Amino acid sequence: KVPSVEILDFDNVKSLVVERFDRAWSTSTGSLIRLAQEDMCQALSVPTHLKYQADGGIGIVEIMQLLNSSTNAEKDRDNFMRFQVFQWLIGATDGHSKNFSIFIETNGAYRLTPFYDIMSAYPASNGKGINTRKLKLAMSLKSTSSGNKWHLEKVYPRHFIATAETVGFCTIRMQEILDEF
């Protein structure tokens, strides 16, 4: 569940073109209209300087609580937890609360937007780049003993199960998601 992307060539310059999920074409006006959306900092009234959980911001628990009231709660929560596994596997270390958003519908209801701003840190970890032992998730997972797990190489599937249990997400479903990868 990500925006459509394609690589296009503009005068021999390759470019990654990403479709905006926060705009739609209005056939009645013949123009683009803005679709109301808020990132998780806005939706949960958290200052933007606290976008990282490690800085006192929100994490998986708070976002999963918010998604409990989504118009598509079961699917949104499932997609969000699936995406946490994906981020871990690809080494996406910048999945902070401003990189998750909800569409605001006309009646005040909301639903999860497509995922965006996804980048793996692994390409930068070759040679003299980033040390892979230092790579951390932006949002922690629950440890099976105590505390939280942040470092990619110290995260195991059991930590997703523990996190699922903490946020009231079916642990059987969490295991199914892990098995799909």
11-to-6, 8, 14, 15, 65 alpha-carbon distances in Å: 16, 10, 8, 10, 47
Closest alpha carbon to 1 in 83, 74, 110, 68: 83
Radius of gyration of the chain (CA): 18
Residue 122 in contact with residue 91, Cβ under 8 Å?
yes
Q: At what angle do helices 73-90 and 157-166 cross, to 10 degrees?
A: 150
Residue located via tokens 């995406």: 83
Residue 76 in contact with residue 109, Cβ under 8 Å?
no
Write down the catalytic residue from 39, 76, 78, 94.
94
- For residues 146 and 116, give the distance between their C-alpha atoms in angstroms, rounded to a whole number: 31
**Is 78 labeled as catalytic in the residue annotation?**
no
Cβ-defined contacts of 123-130 (< 8 Å, 24+)? 125/91
Residues noted as catalytic? 94
